[in-house]
Amino acid sequence: MLLFIYRLLCGYLYLRISAENPEKLLNICAAKGIGIWRVTVKGNLVYFKIGITSFKKLRIFKRKVPCKIHITKR
């Protein structure tokens, strides 16, 4: 319950990743300690939620994987 309140107060983004291998980016996030939750896969698209501070780190690691990241909700 406290984690939900913390995420609500700090803010989070709902992202969509389109790539041939989106799991590479998810593996990098797991290895670097970037917290993501509510991951859903629909074909080559992956939807998930991420904290705003973690999104800034994600942009750095995005360069290693050729993909497009779209913010669908704030």
62 — pLDDT class (breaks 50, 70, 90): confident
Average pLDDT over residues 16-40: 88
31 — pLDDT class (breaks 50, 70, 90): very high
CA distances, 59 to each of 6, 16, 65, 68 (Å): 22, 13, 11, 11
CATH code, residues 2-73: 3.30.70.2280
